[in-house]
């Protein structure tokens, strides 16, 4: 299975994984002006799929996925302070662990 990346670039921001569990990830992002922010993501698994584009068939392996823009508030949370992001991340991890018991 493909795992979430340690680093990636999206919409003119560079993201770097700060920490993760099996179900949640915390990323720091920075733009070219060195403005920072943080995102917490609930990790989900996308099943392996095959899609046909005309005569071409493309296969996508099973992969962990991050929240898309329209999923923030449900699967992703954005913060301008590290403390806010850590509070959210830790709360989500503890809640998930409690639900697993």
Tokens at 56, concatenated: 């071409």
* Nearest partner of 24 among 46, 39, 6, judged by Cα: 39
pLDDT digits (tens, 9 = 90+) for 33-67: 999 999 999 999 999 999 998 999 999 999 999 99
pLDDT digits (tens, 9 = 90+) for 61-97: 999 999 999 999 999 999 999 999 999 999 999 998 8
- Residue 45 phi, psi dihedral angles, 5° rounding: -110, 125
- Beta-bridged to residue 15, according to DSSP, are 8, 29
């Amino acid at each position: 299975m493909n795992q979430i990346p340690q680093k990636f670039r999206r919409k003119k921001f560079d993201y770097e994984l700060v920490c993760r569990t099996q179900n949640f990830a915390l990323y720091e992002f920075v733009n070219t002006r060195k403005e920072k922010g943080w995102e917490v993501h609930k990790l989900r698994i996308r099943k392996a799929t095959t899609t046909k584009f005309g005569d071409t068939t493309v296969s996508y392996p099973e992969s962990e996925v991050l929240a898309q823009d329209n999923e923030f508030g449900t699967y992703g949370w954005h913060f301008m302070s590290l403390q806010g992001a850590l509070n959210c991340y830790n709360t989500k991890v503890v809640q998930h662990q409690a639900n697993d018991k």
